[in-house]
Amino acid sequence: MNAPRGFTLIELTIVLALVALLLTIAVPRYFHSLDNGKLSVQRQNLAAIRDALDKFYGDQGKYPDELDDLVKKKYLRGIPVDPLTELPNWAVLPPEDPAQGRVYDVRSAAKQAEAAADGASTAQDSDRGAASGRAEDAPRATPPSAGTQRDQANPAGGTNAR
């Protein structure tokens, strides 16, 4: 008599349970690494925009009126996309003196939307960002100028960092 070939129900159940167990370990790590990658891209995009803003200020003596001015004057090839919103929509922060332009700093629009949904104020967000030390949340230092401390040597022989 020939025995039927194939797997029994118990064998299939054990294999599926093992696959499910492995997936419960691997999938959260995968999504966590995706989130870390998006945050890394966001930090790099913010650094590129802020560097272009500093260069614009150094050349023009004022901040741009809109982010597109950075593209028009060739400081950026294009406005980088925020990987969290997947759009080039950055939250713009103006300088204290409105005569200096309208774009002093940028933040992620996703952070602003979360704060509005939570009912949190932007002051609380900037305090949290400064405390956490994250680049995308931290407020910028004072505006650069032609003769800043960045360019001057300190007595110890190095340069002063802002």
Measure the CA dihedral 151/155/161/162, to 10°. Answer: -90
For residue 132, what pLDDT is reported? Answer: 39
For residue 5, what pLDDT is reported? Answer: 83
Judge contact between 82 and 67, C-beta under 8 A. no
Q: String of b and e for 48-64 (b: at least 16 CB within 10 Å)?
A: bbeebbbebbeeeeebb
Phi, psi of 50 (to 5 degrees): -65, -35
Q: What whole-number distance in Å separates Cα of residue 140 and Cα of residue 103?
A: 12
For residue 126, what pLDDT is reported? Answer: 44
For residue 91, what pLDDT is reported? Answer: 94
For residue 117, what pLDDT is reported? Answer: 63
Question: For each successive 10 residues of the chain (162 residues), what is the average pLDDT?
Answer: 82 96 94 95 96 97 96 96 93 94 93 62 42 49 46 43 40
Q: pTM higher than 0.85, yes or no?
A: no
For residue 71, what pLDDT is reported? Answer: 96
For residue 19, what pLDDT is reported? Answer: 97
Residue 159 is classified by DSSP as: B
For residue 111, what pLDDT is reported? Answer: 73
Judge contact between 162 and 148, C-beta under 8 A. yes
